[in-house]
Chains A and B, each alone.
Chain A
Amino acid sequence: MRILLTLLVKEFKQIFRNKVMIPIIFVVPVVQMILLTYAASLEMKGIKMVVVDQDLSQASRLLVSGFSASPFFEIVHSTTSYPEAESRLTGDRADVILHIEHQFEKRLYAEQETDLQLVVNAINTTEAGLINAYCTQIVGEFNTQIRSEWFSLDASLRMSSLDLKPSFWYNPLLDYKIYMFSGILVILVTLIGMLLTALNLVREKEMGTTEQINVTPIRKYQFIMAKLIPFWVIALFELAFGLLVGRLLYDLPMVGSLGLLFLFACVYIVVVLGIGLFLSTISNTQQQLMFVAFFFMITFILMSGVFTPTDSMPQWAQKINLLNPAAYFMRVIRMILLKGSEFRDISREFFSLLVYAVLILILAVTNYRKTT
């Protein structure tokens, strides 16, 4: 125990003596959390629309006014030349073209049906899907309007209606920021914890100071624990710090128990740092380690469900996610903070990570070589 304590004193002194790393550990993440949270929204407003109205009739004007009244669309240009509109689409100065051809109104009267062209920039499929949906909705409203006002279709013919009452729990204003914030916080804690721990050990290897440690009677587990504990404390502190920032700046909801969250975080961080230590036992230089860590980290993060829901991932990806600690924490932090989930709701995740923690620590300790 005293040996472990001696080692811990050493590690803490070294960490806090490093004047460059402290700001990197604390300032950079906070700035990122504050800024980037705002970036991550798929919400659509101000879709840039170019109107090509070649009919210039009463009907076409009414239709266009439906679009200009919508909060989703911003009519950036009106023209009668389709090629001109298309060049705007190509030049990224428009997201969608509303093309109303000649005889739009005439056909509406004569054939009782007419059509209009919608040209969507579909490189971003989610955006394209939404644009399409909004347009269809506005045109639908237009249809209802002309039926009743122009053609005074009598009420009996009107469709019976299905009343869909949507409600959004936990986040009625559909504020995406709080969701994103917790996600970015998890990424930063993971990234910093894993990298710091792993780099620290490899750096000692590279510098040759581990040689000196390896000829002493220190036990492997003592050495590994001494490398783990300081960064475990730092990562927990970072999490607390991040939550505080979120609370103050974004009114981050904390519906569930913070105690439960930290209990879970304690185990999670052991897993993350354990992986870092394991990676450092199989690397000889910081460069090597960085490659491996970078690879794992970016895969972990992208698969964790930070930007996109894990439930929609294919089965094989969800299987891989069983080994992805970030996926567990990403899910649980949001469950606890936003929905107030309790221990029984997250017990499966908790015990899975507990087993993970034990296994990865055993792996890191046994894989650390005092003798080569």
Chain B
Amino acid sequence: MSRFFGFVKKEFQHIFRDVRTLVILFGLPIVMIILFGYVVTTEIRDVEVGIWDRSMDQASIQATQKIFSSGYFVPAGYLDREEQIGELFRSGRAKVVVVFETDFEKNLKRENRASIRLITDASDANSAQLAQNYLQGVLMNYFQSLNPDINAPWSVQVKSRMFYNEELKGVYMFVPGLMALILMLISALMTSVTITREKEFGTMELLLASPLKPREIILGKVTPYVFLSFVNALTIILLGFLVFKVPVVGSLWLLMLECMLYITLALSLGVLISTSAKTQQVAMFMSMLGLMLPTILLSGFIFPIDNMPLILQWFSSIMPARWFIVIVKNIMLKGTGFVYIWKETLILLGMTLFFILAAVKRFNVRLK
């Protein structure tokens, strides 16, 4: 046993000696959470809007002012020709162009009907749609404020309650996803690479020839990363709480336990990758190319799984991150207990066992 601890200590020293690696290991979650908290939001802000006002009357000017005072839109210039719309879009200087028809105010007053064209650069369909919705909302509000006296009777008022996230903070959704992503990548990438490194340099043979048992070697290599990943998980939770006030509504202990389970899973996946990769490069590409994008895209981290085609939903259910995200959301944000997440936990447990068994089997094959 002391031999084993000696080995683990050596592995720790190996990691801690390289300051740059350490800075990145611990800096990564911090940078990521700031990125997701402030930068990568699906909300829109400062959308550039071009105005083509063909009537230039009081109503159209007021409507324009309303658009720009809403906070979502910034002016991208005024147009006076149809061709300019395309020019603005092609140069990327505007996302939306609002066209007021001629005699806008007159039509509004005389015929009770006036039209506004809202032309959107829809190459980015998601934000185009959002911008459209917001713009329509702003214009409708403005229009209703023109007719305050017609507050119609017999109406149903909608009272919405935003559950689990009263203030509608985007970062609520990203904290669980970020944990899933960072833990998966760091754990799987790191372990697969350090183990493959020993293989590539022939030092694995040396270790195998030592009195350490193969499983002690693997455990020894993996242990430091269990620790590092765990610290990373804590960092994310703490930062989320301190900077963005993301609470841990449920049991912190349960959350920690689930994190440990997920870390173990990611590490065993890393070991499995290392048994089939001969060189560090291959291990790296397998873990980075193979894990990064699918974990971001198929886990429900950014894009809802329910909207995906069936085959992708099926793929997403073999992504461990998907289940972990559900677990974290439940414990952190909804405050539910184990009753609501036992199924997901079992799935993660099963996956972990599968990875471990497969890794052991491949490892033994290699030894023979």
Touch between A and B in complex, CB under 8 Å?
Answer: yes
Residue B67 at the chain A interface, CB threshold 8 Å: no
Among B150, B294, B306, the one with the most A-chain Cβ atoms within 10 Å of its Cβ is B306
Residue of B nearest to A320 (CB): B39
Task: Evaluate whether A290 and B168 lie within 8 angstroms (CB atoms) in the complex, with A39-B308, A90-B334, A176-B126 already known.
Answer: no
Is the beta-carbon distance between B44 and A312 smaller than 8 angstroms?
Answer: yes
Residues of B within 8 A of A32 (CB): 289, 293-294
Is the beta-carbon distance between A125 and B169 smaller than 8 angstroms?
Answer: yes
Residue A45 at the chain B interface, CB threshold 8 Å: yes
Is the beta-carbon distance between B329 and A123 smaller than 8 angstroms?
Answer: yes
When chains A and B are docked, how far (Å) is the Cα of A328 from the Cα of B36?
Answer: 20
Residue A372 at the chain B interface, CB threshold 8 Å: no
Is the beta-carbon distance between B118 and A165 smaller than 8 angstroms?
Answer: yes
Residues of A within 8 A of B164 (CB): 121-123
Nearest chain A CB to B180 CB, angstrom units: 14
Is the beta-carbon distance between B286 and A63 smaller than 8 angstroms?
Answer: no
A129-137, A223-231, A260-268 - interface stretch: A129-137
Is the beta-carbon distance between A299 and B35 smaller than 8 angstroms?
Answer: yes
Q: Of B43, B48, B90, B286, which contacts A125 at CB under 8 A?
A: B43
Is the beta-carbon distance between B280 and A165 smaller than 8 angstroms?
Answer: no
Is the beta-carbon distance between B40 and A303 smaller than 8 angstroms?
Answer: yes
Residue A115 at the chain B interface, CB threshold 8 Å: yes
User: Would you give the 0/1 interface string for A9-42, flagging 1 where the beta carbon is closer than 8 Å to chain B?
Assistant: 0000000000011001000110010011011111
Residue B358 at the chain A interface, CB threshold 8 Å: no
When chains A and B are docked, how far (Å) is the Cα of A143 from the Cα of B115?
Answer: 23
Is the beta-carbon distance between A128 and B168 smaller than 8 angstroms?
Answer: yes
Nearest chain A CB to B112 CB, angstrom units: 3
Nearest chain A CB to B265 CB, angstrom units: 20
Residues of B within 8 A of A172 (CB): 122
Residue of A nearest to B34 (CB): A317
Q: Of A108, A340, A344, which contacts B154 at CB under 8 A?
A: A108
User: Would you give the 0/1 interface string for B303-327, flagging 1 where the beta carbon is closer than 8 Å to chain A?
Assistant: 1101111011001100000000010
Q: Of A21, A187, A307, which contacts B282 at CB under 8 A?
A: A21
Is the beta-carbon distance between A164 and B139 smaller than 8 angstroms?
Answer: yes
Is the beta-carbon distance between B156 and A63 smaller than 8 angstroms?
Answer: yes
When chains A and B are docked, how far (Å) is the Cα of A134 from the Cα of B301?
Answer: 23
Residues of A within 8 A of B18 (CB): 288
Residue B53 at the chain A interface, CB threshold 8 Å: no
Residues of A within 8 A of B345 (CB): none
Is the beta-carbon distance between B289 and A124 smaller than 8 angstroms?
Answer: no
Is the beta-carbon distance between A89 and B163 smaller than 8 angstroms?
Answer: yes
- A residues 69-122 touching B (CB-CB < 8 Å): 89-92, 108, 112-122
Is the beta-carbon distance between A294 and B114 smaller than 8 angstroms?
Answer: no
Residue A203 at the chain B interface, CB threshold 8 Å: yes
Residue B56 at the chain A interface, CB threshold 8 Å: no
User: Would you give the 0/1 interface string for A159-177, flagging 1 where the beta carbon is closer than 8 Å to chain B?
Assistant: 1111111111111101110
Residue of A nearest to B98 (CB): A164
Residues of A within 8 A of B285 (CB): 21, 24, 28, 195
Is the beta-carbon distance between A163 and B193 smaller than 8 angstroms?
Answer: no
Residues of B within 8 A of A21 (CB): 281-282, 285
Nearest chain A CB to B184 CB, angstrom units: 12
When chains A and B are docked, how far (Å) is the Cα of A258 from the Cα of B61?
Answer: 41
Residues of A within 8 A of B260 (CB): none
Is the beta-carbon distance between A41 and B129 smaller than 8 angstroms?
Answer: no
> What 5 A-B pairs come out closest when comparing CB atoms?
A160-B112, A168-B122, A122-B162, A338-B123, A163-B115
Residues of A near any B CB (own CB < 8 A): 20-21, 24, 28-29, 32, 35-36, 38-46, 48, 63, 89-92, 108, 112-130, 132-133, 135-136, 139, 142-143, 146-147, 150-151, 153, 157, 159-172, 174-176, 178-179, 184, 187-188, 191-192, 195, 199, 203, 285-288, 290-292, 294-295, 298-299, 302-303, 307-309, 311-314, 317, 331, 334-335, 338-342, 344-345
Residues of B near any A CB (own CB < 8 A): 18, 20-21, 24-25, 27-28, 31-32, 35-36, 38-48, 85-86, 89-92, 95, 108, 112-130, 132-133, 136-137, 139-140, 143-144, 147, 150, 152-166, 168-170, 172-173, 185, 189, 193-194, 197, 278-282, 284-286, 288-290, 292-294, 297-298, 302-304, 306-309, 311-312, 315-316, 326, 329-330, 333-334, 336, 340
| 18 interchain pairs, CB-CB under 8 A | A20-B279, A21-B281, A41-B303, A113-B155, A116-B157, A117-B159, A119-B163, A122-B162, A147-B152, A159-B150, A160-B113, A163-B115, A164-B115, A164-B136, A168-B128, A308-B40, A340-B90, A341-B90
| Additional 14 contacts, C-beta under 8 A, given A130-B133, A147-B152, A312-B45 | A32-B293, A42-B307, A43-B125, A112-B155, A126-B170, A151-B153, A159-B147, A159-B150, A166-B132, A167-B120, A171-B122, A290-B189, A339-B123, A340-B90
